[in-house]
A and B are shown apart, each in its own frame.
Chain A
Amino acid sequence: MYEDHGREVFAVRAVDLTVHDGEFLGILGPSGSGKSSLLYLLSGLKTPSAGEIRLDGQALASRTETERAEIRLTRFGFVFQHPHLLGYLSALENVLLARPDGDRRPEAETLLTTLGLADKAHRLPYELSGGERQRVCVARALMGRPRAVFADEPTAALDHRNGVQVVEMLNQGRGDGALIIVTHDPTMLVHADRIVTLVDGEIAETPD
């Protein structure tokens, strides 16, 4: 639930969903169905006004804001709808943002190479195309082999070919980690282990 001009809006309600380790979960739904809100709730970026999000059996809400931030930084990876990068950092430095601890440079360089950006590691975001920027975001999300990668409409700003590539890269790069992708395009979820469809904030169906 959130407030919009003083009015309470239920973005997600009565959702009971478990994400398993290593699972590729697709969340489908039309615009405004609450799928992004669900993703932010699952990743601890938002706190539910009612109900609970549990990680390893412990409610996220019971943790402090700093602890939730620590979980996001060390155990989760994120790809957002828009390729958000810090404009004053190079592609490599943007990837390193995801794991500021220790010397992770070789890992970041390997990821960029895997994603076909080896020659663009030292370029600033404005020197990259939209697809390249989103690939940098994918590398950032995969840094440190996170336990779960959350992707909110990662293909929305890309053409279909680039979109498919990004999802494939996420799926291949996640290793043992879970991948949760929110999208309105079912063709992006052909490799998903499970797809849930959200309509008006509620799960409409959970096909196997």
Chain B
Amino acid sequence: MYLRRNRGKSAPLTLVIVLAVLLIAGIVAMINSIPLSIRTIYAYSQNYLGVTPRGDPMQTPILRAVIERESPVPIDRILTVRGSEAQVTSIVGDWPFAVLGLPPKDFDYYLRRMGVTRISGRLPKSGAPEALVSEPVARNQKLRIGSIVIGPDKNDAYSPLPVRVVGIAQSPNWMMLTTYEYHRQHHFPPIDVLLVFAKNRADQARLDDWAIQRFEGRRARLFAYRQLEEEADSMFKILYKILNVIIGTLVLVITFMMGMLMNIYLSQRVPEFGLLQALGYSKRTIVRRVLGETALVVGVGWALGLVAAYGLLSLVRMLLMDPQAFALDALDRTAYLYSMPVPLAILLTGVLTVIARFRKFDPVSVVERRLL
């Protein structure tokens, strides 16, 4: 009843909680979008293990033989490809991205394993300066059919000939593909790379784990999703420590401010508490009633805050992130969990304020208007 009839007081309080939750969930989700973007860019590597020889290009057949002989899981297929480097754009700047040169006979298999559902245009012709890119890459690099993806004028994505996009593949996975023959003719060094496909994701993870141990210290370099995750985690460890300090401070500041607001809010109700107590309402009844109302304000504020955060993040994703294929999870659970201390701290402040006020509370001082 109090909340409904005093919207002028309870609505601003709710709004402050909404803004606090919005602020915290928004910051955390935006920061989380950095590693999420990187994981999304390289998510294709969950589908295969990349193996290149180190120091000696002749090692490739030996590595292949070891994998075929010792793999703990059945191997679905091993592709021999060539590769060069290009760049994709992430929220935190440009990141290296592999342009793979596939033998024409392996295109269908590779595209199927990458979850390609449709291709606009066509596949590159063997040896021709042509490329197929996936839709997220096209969006990220603003590529269309006919655009140059790697070429002589691109320092970070060099190729002696301008390689034009001839097809765009619909797939959630990021990829840039040319033919093996084009790479063999125009790119140096002449190293064959193995893409080792297990039969499914679970087997792939087991294969990756095995390979990481098996080839440790050997003349092989691996590209496995688990390594990528570990590298990303270690890269962002310090960032998350800083984030925790910032969020902790933010929660403290917000709690302090909310504590003061709650104190003012409850102070305005002292005459009400005094009158009710004088009439015979027990302290416990009044405290329960006030805490119930506070919990309602905080709960509604938090829930609205989450909805507002989801709305804002969806808007940011739609307007700012999606056009460049940056990843942002508008339903990021971590972000929403980070906002949990706000309602809890406010509720705790409310409880302590009410208890502190009632410890030496004299209803007579209210009805005699000494406290008014």
Indicate if B184 sits at the interface (CB-CB under 8 A).
Answer: no
Q: In A104-133, which residues have CB < 8 Å from any B CB?
A: none
- In Å, the complex CA distance between A69 and B280 comes to 4
Pair A74/B275 contact, Cβ less than 8 Å: no
Contact A97 B363 (CB under 8 A): no
Known A-B contacts A46-B364, A66-B284; A73 and B5 likewise in contact (beta carbons under 8 Å): no
A89 contacts B1, CB within 8 Å? yes
A162 CB–B CB distance under 8 Å: no
B5 — which chain A residues lie within 8 A by C-beta? Answer: 88-89
Alpha-carbon separation in the docked complex, A45 to B369 (Å): 15
B280 touches A73 (CB 8 A): yes
What mask results when residues 27 to 68 of chain A are scored 1 for a CB within 8 Å of chain B, else 0? 000000000100010000110000000000000000001100
- Separation of A84 and B274 alpha carbons in the complex (Å): 10
Closest to A94 in B: B275
Q: Which residues of A contact B367 (CB under 8 A)?
A: 78, 80-82, 84, 152
A40 to B6 alpha-carbon distance, docked (Å): 31
Interface band, chain B: 20 to 34
Is B276 an interface position by the 8 A CB rule? yes
Whether A86 lies near B283 (C-beta < 8 A) is no
Indicate which residue in B6, B280, B364, B368 contacts A74 across the interface (CB closer than 8 Å). Answer: B280
Residues of A within 8 Å of B281, CB to CB, are: 69, 73, 100
Q: A45-B363, A45-B364 are in contact. Are A73 and B279 (CB under 8 A)?
A: yes
Give the chain B neighbours of A140 by CB distance below 8 A. Answer: 279
The chain B residue with its CB closest to the CB of A76 is: B280
Cα A108 to Cα B283 with chains together (Å): 25
**Chain B residues touching A, majority SS:** helix
- Residues from chain B with a CB closer than 8 A to the CB of A100 are 281
Q: A45 and B278: CB pair below 8 A? A: yes
Q: Is A70 an interface residue (CB 8 A)?
A: yes
- Closest-by-CB residue of B relative to A97 is B279
Residue of A nearest to B269 (CB): A86
B residues 46-77 with Cβ under 8 Å of A? none
Task: Report the bound CA distance from A74 to B367 in whole Å.
Answer: 19
A149 at the interface (CB under 8 A from B): no
Q: How far is the CB of B266 from chain A (nearest CB, A)?
A: 15
The smallest C-beta distance from B370 to any residue of chain A, in angstroms, reads: 11
Asked if A158 is at the interface of the complex by the 8 Å CB criterion, the answer is no
Is A72 interfacial (CB-CB < 8 Å)? yes
Contact bitstring B303-316, A, C-beta under 8 A = 1, else 0: 00000000000000
Shortest A42–chain B CB gap in Å is 13
Q: In the complex, what distance in Å separates the CA atom of A84 from the CA atom of B272? A: 9
Count, chain A residues at interface, CB 8 A: 27
Which residue on A lies nearest to B275, using beta carbons?
A84
Contact call B284/A86, Cβ cutoff below 8 A: no
Q: Is B40 located at the chain interface by the 8 A CB criterion?
A: no
B369 to chain A, nearest CB (A): 6
Hey, which chain A residues are within 8 Å of B2, CB to CB?
Answer: 88
A71 at the interface (CB under 8 A from B): yes
Contact among A71, A82, A86 with B272 in the assembled complex (CB-CB below 8 Å):
A86
A66 contacts B280, C-beta separation under 8 Å: no
A173 to B91 alpha-carbon distance, docked (Å): 77
B282 adjacent to A70 (CB under 8 Å): yes
Chain B contacts of A72 at CB under 8 A? 278-280
Cα–Cα, bound, A71→B279 (Å): 10
In the complex, the answer to whether B277 meets A69 with C-beta atoms within 8 Å is: yes
Query: Are A81 and B280 in contact, with the CB atoms below 8 A?
Result: no
Q: Does A98 contact B (CB under 8 A)?
A: yes
- Cα A84 to Cα B368 with chains together (Å): 10
CA distance A82 to B274 in the complex (A): 13
- B271 at the binding interface (Cβ < 8 Å): yes
**Which of B271, B276, B364, B366 meets A97, CB within 8 Å?**
B276
Please give the distance in Å from A114's CB to the nearest CB on chain B. 20
CA distance A65 to B286 in the complex (A): 13
- Hey, which chain A residues are within 8 Å of B275, CB to CB? 84, 86
Residues of B within 8 A of A36 (CB): 368
Bound complex: CA A82 to CA B366 (Å): 10
Closest to A37 in B: B364
User: Chain B residue with minimal CB distance to A86?
Assistant: B272
- A84-B271, A89-B1 known; A66 and B279 CB under 8 Å? no
User: Which chain B residue lies CB-closest to A72?
Assistant: B280
Interface centre among A36, A66, A82, A84 (most CB of B within 10 A): A84
Closest to A36 in B: B368
- What 7 A-B pairs come out closest when comparing CB atoms? A73-B280, A72-B280, A88-B5, A69-B282, A80-B367, A66-B282, A84-B275
A-B contact pairs, 20 of them (CB 8 A): A36-B368, A45-B278, A45-B364, A65-B282, A66-B283, A69-B277, A69-B281, A69-B283, A70-B282, A72-B278, A72-B280, A74-B280, A76-B280, A78-B278, A80-B278, A80-B368, A81-B367, A84-B366, A88-B5, A97-B279
Chain B positions near chain A (C-beta within 8 angstroms)? 1-2, 5-6, 271-272, 275-284, 363-364, 366-369
